[in-house]
Amino acid sequence: MTTQNTKYIFVTGGVASSLGKGIISASLGKLLLARGYSVAIQKLDPYINIDPGTLNPYEHGECYVTEDGTETDLDLGHYERFTNVLTSQNNNVTTGQIYQSVINKERRGDYLGKTVQVIPHITDEIKRSIKLLGKRYHYDVVITEIGGTVGDIESLPYIEAVRQLKWELGPHNSVVVHLTLVPYLSASGESKTKPTQHSVKGLLENGVQPDVLVLRTEHRLNVDIRKKVAQFCNVELGSVVESHDVDTIYEVPLMMKEEELDLTILNKLELAFKEDPKLMRWNKFVKKLKNPKKEIQVGLIGKYVELPDSYKSIQESFIHAGAENQCKVNVVTIHSEDINENNVKSKLKDLDGVLIAPGFGQRGIDGKIQAARYVRENNIPFLGICLGMQCAVIEYARNVLGYDGADSTEFNRRTPYPVIDLMEEQKNITEKGGTMRLGSYPCNIKADTRVYDVYKNQHIRERHRHRYEFNNLYLEDFEKAGMVASGCNPDTDLVEIIELPKHRWFVGVQFHPEYKSTVLSPHPLFVAFVKEMCSSGSHSQE
Ligand code: GLN
């Protein structure tokens, strides 16, 4: 038996993917925190990549970056946004990492001549990753979300690890929450429980009896449906929880509180209820979000816009900043490849502001540069993030400084004006995975600049994910021509922020503010950007 006091909650999913296990985990984490428990949330991803850093966003949505510079699953973004608890390397584990660690141990001879197998070696490694968080940081509760859907071949070792851990931890030390879908058949006007029953049977085949079922549904469920699910899936009626569709994911913690998911789980874990979660600030946020006084349109220019999850943290940051300003922010996604010199005006003229997104590679760059020029020349509020900032710099060099052919060496190695260039420490790196400048770095902000007004602080830290940087050889030329480097890394002088003081609101940042915006601390840059757009909001609802 394990002796530590941490309690474990496992969240599995059945029937279909994308039911919102991450949101349920984050909501549960939020409720337990609000009751006074310390909580960590972790995601186990059954794919073989070491991390999502090398994945194309079309494959996996956004790659979220933590303070410690780990490239992780976008669900970790939800965890931080909901709980304000920072995540790290230990909060996201993939099959690739599990196998790498087991193979390294085998090469070192740690297994003393044994045959290395999925059971027990892989499952032991999975259990070690789960217990590590509780052990090292002494959380009261660790919530572990198992990626994928029950029945997937690659999820099997994880489910087996859960089965073993449940047994090892003994009664009242762990709970399995299974999230399934209850589809509604409009032809017969019925909600169907059979897929849920089958999904629970799938778990049972693997030796795991879920303790709590969360039923995702488009239509409200009546008590008969809940009873049926309870009876056929061997759970108590009170352990069947409904999760119906709501307007915003930020209502889910409130719905789960209503459904008493936290109380049901605390009961099973024999933990005290402690204080009742008031969620006052959360409620206030949702109220502001749902009762906007103004409405604006912001263009989000990127090259992965077909998949909304590609820019998840940016979208969420606009929601946080919108609520703060009591303004509905409609994010209009525009494919950068669809923008050219002739149509840029018609595509951007009705927007209250434009954000140029992060990205990699040459595809879609011309459109981004055209857009940066249009917003600069037409005094339209602009925020450029990472590649977005770099495009604004290239555009300024070409059209204001007159540096014909200025470029980033990412797109043209032989450009006569490499205004964006590969960072020195990147020059000898050949491996792609986990080798960018990643995670949190300090930035000093110049007094009397727009961003100083925004942050009201001279020293900030922000998260990064890039290989290229502003080329300081050209800094003087830019400053003479009116572009100010208003934030720099104090150790390396790397330009972190550029702005145009003569423009209404034109800011480019080398870092990613979107990773740090949460419900309770909306990011100041997004808040200020939205505020500026609201001041001209052409679509006021008042
Ligand atoms: N491709 C650019 C770089 O590596 C920008 C990266 C980004 O937007 N995250 O510097």
Specify the ligand 1 atom closest to the Cα of 357. 8
In this structure, the strands spanning 174-181 and 7-13 are parallel
Q: pLDDT (tens digit, 9 = 90+) per residue, 134-166?
A: 888 889 999 999 999 999 999 999 999 999 999
Distance CA 85, CA 93 (A): 18
| Mean pLDDT of all residues in 473-493 | 97
Distance CA 214, CA 28 (A): 12
List phi, psi (to 5°) of 401. Answer: -75, -15
The pick from 314, 390, 412 for probing ligand 1's pocket by mutation, whose C-beta has the most ligand atoms within 8 angstroms, reads 390
Is the pLDDT score of 33 beyond 90?
yes
Is the pLDDT score of 225 beyond 90?
yes
Specify the ligand 1 atom closest to the Cα of 468. 10
Q: Which residue lies with its CA nearest to atom 3 of ligand 1? A: 466
Ligand 1 centroid to 301 CA: how many Å? Answer: 15
3-class DSSP assignment, residue 482:
coil
Active site residues: 386, 512, 514
Residue 256's nearest CA partner among 81, 34, 91, 87 is 34
* DSSP class of 407: E
| Mean pLDDT of all residues in 267-278 | 93
Q: pLDDT (tens digit, 9 = 90+) per residue, 88-130?
A: 999 999 999 999 999 999 999 999 999 999 999 999 999 999 9
In this structure, the strands spanning 495-499 and 484-488 are antiparallel
| Mean pLDDT of all residues in 464-476 | 97
Q: Is 508 touching ligand 1 by the criterion CB < 6 Å?
A: no
Could you check whether the bond before residue 501 is cis, i.e. omega within 30 degrees of 0? Answer: no
Task: Please count the CA atoms within 13 angstroms of the CA of 373 that sit on its side-chain side.
Answer: 20
3-class DSSP assignment, residue 265:
helix
Is the pLDDT score of 540 beyond 50?
no
Structure tokens at 37: 């428990």
Q: Is 386 touching ligand 1 by the criterion CB < 6 Å?
A: yes
The pick from 426, 464, 467 for probing ligand 1's pocket by mutation, whose C-beta has the most ligand atoms within 8 angstroms, reads 467
**Contacts for 24 with CB less than 8 Å, ≥ 6 apart:** 11, 177, 179, 214, 243, 252, 256
Structure tokens at 437: 């400048």
Ligand 1 centroid to 390 CA: how many Å? Answer: 8
373 alpha carbon, distance to own chain's centre: 30
Q: Which residue lies with its CA nearest to atom 1 of ligand 1? A: 360
Q: Which residue lies with its CA nearest to atom 5 of ligand 1? A: 387
Q: Is 360 touching ligand 1 by the criterion CB < 6 Å?
A: yes
Specify the ligand 1 atom closest to the Cα of 360. 1
pLDDT computed for residue 1 by the predictor: 40
Ligand 1 centroid to 344 CA: how many Å? Answer: 23
Is the backbone of residue 15 left (phi > 0), alpha (psi -120 to 50) or beta? left
Residue 226's nearest CA partner among 241, 246, 210 is 241
Is the backbone of residue 405 left (phi > 0), alpha (psi -120 to 50) or beta? left
pLDDT bin (cut points 50, 70, 90) of residue 314 is very high
pLDDT bin (cut points 50, 70, 90) of residue 4 is low
Ligand 1 centroid to 520 CA: how many Å? Answer: 28
Is the pLDDT score of 538 beyond 50?
no
Q: pLDDT (tens digit, 9 = 90+) per residue, 48-71?
A: 999 999 888 888 889 999 999 999
Q: Is 358 touching ligand 1 by the criterion CB < 6 Å?
A: yes
- The pLDDT mean for the chain works out to 95
Is the pLDDT score of 244 beyond 80?
yes
| Mean pLDDT of all residues in 450-479 | 97
Is the pLDDT score of 539 beyond 70?
no
Ligand 1 centroid to 447 CA: how many Å? Answer: 27
| Mean pLDDT of all residues in 367-386 | 98
Q: Is 53 touching ligand 1 by the criterion CB < 6 Å?
A: no
Is the backbone of residue 208 left (phi > 0), alpha (psi -120 to 50) or beta? beta
